[in-house]
Amino acid sequence: MEIVIANKSHAGYAQYICDTIAESAKVRGTGIAKRTPEYVITKMENGNAVIALDGEKFAGFCYIEAWGHGKFVANSGLIVHPDYRGSGLARQIKEAIFKHSREKYPDAKVFGITTGLAVMKINSDLGYRPVTFSELTDDPTFWKGCQTCRNYDILQRTEQKMCLCTGMLYDPEKEEKKKREAAKSSGSEAKKEKTMNPKAFTRLKSIKEHLFLKKDKKKDE
């Protein structure tokens, strides 16, 4: 298995990547912002994506989006081919794209929105923290991308303050501050922030689904 920064030589995988993302969302019954092959190819040509290959076979993908003139970046479109799920590949891809984001945009805040509990856990382990949508980019182009999601009406009803997705943010400035404070401590006295318990993510998702989907059910009745 090889995880590399994608380039134009990988353009032939673009349609397959989009199809795999769409099919995965359909199977899970979750909302998703649609991507086009042309958009994916642009990310590859700009060096803003990573692709996992098992020889010549496509195994996984993820790309970078920059917002607010580079003040924010998002790691989006994470997908693992069904043949490689459950192998830990998603975590490897997330770690690779996160590292690439930090190297290419060292001062940017890295964020993401997702309904996937597994992705939330990986993000938490990387240093992301759950935040309100108001702490994410206010770039209208980013939020416009949610229009193709089945849950977009929820985002509209809440005036873009909340949805079934959970917003997560990695703030490099805050993380550097934590490292400096930890460095002042010694040995066992060094404070280590624990990652968020998966049960907390499950409860958060359950509360949102109960809150929003219950309203939709009443409306249908």
**C-alpha pair distances (Å), 144 with each of 8, 32, 203:** 26, 12, 28
pLDDT at 20: 92
* Residue in 158, 136, 138 with CA at minimum distance from that of residue 216: 158
pLDDT at 29: 60
Q: What's the length of the chain?
A: 221
CA 21 to chain CA centroid, nearest Å: 13
Residues in the chain, pLDDT under 50: 188-191
3-class DSSP state for residue 71?
coil
DSSP 127-176: T-EEE-GGGS---HHHHHGGGGSTTHHHHHHTTTS--SSEEEEE-HHHHH
Contacts of 33 (CB under 8 A, 6+ apart): 76, 145, 146, 147, 148, 149
What element of type H or E holds 125? helix 117-126
3-class DSSP state for residue 123?
helix
pLDDT at 191: 47
Do residues 52 and 83 touch, judged by C-beta distance below 8 A?
A: no
Print the domain residue range for 55. 2-220
pLDDT at 216: 55
pLDDT at 13: 97
Q: How many domains in the chain?
A: 1
pLDDT at 144: 84
Residues 69-97 pLDDT 10s:
889 999 988 999 999 999 999 999 999 99
Contacts of 107 (CB under 8 A, 6+ apart): 70, 71, 172
CA dist., res. 198 & res. 177, Å (int) = 26
pLDDT at 52: 98
Q: In this structure, what CATH number is given to the domain that contains residue 215?
A: 3.40.630.30
CA dist., res. 24 & res. 48, Å (int) = 22
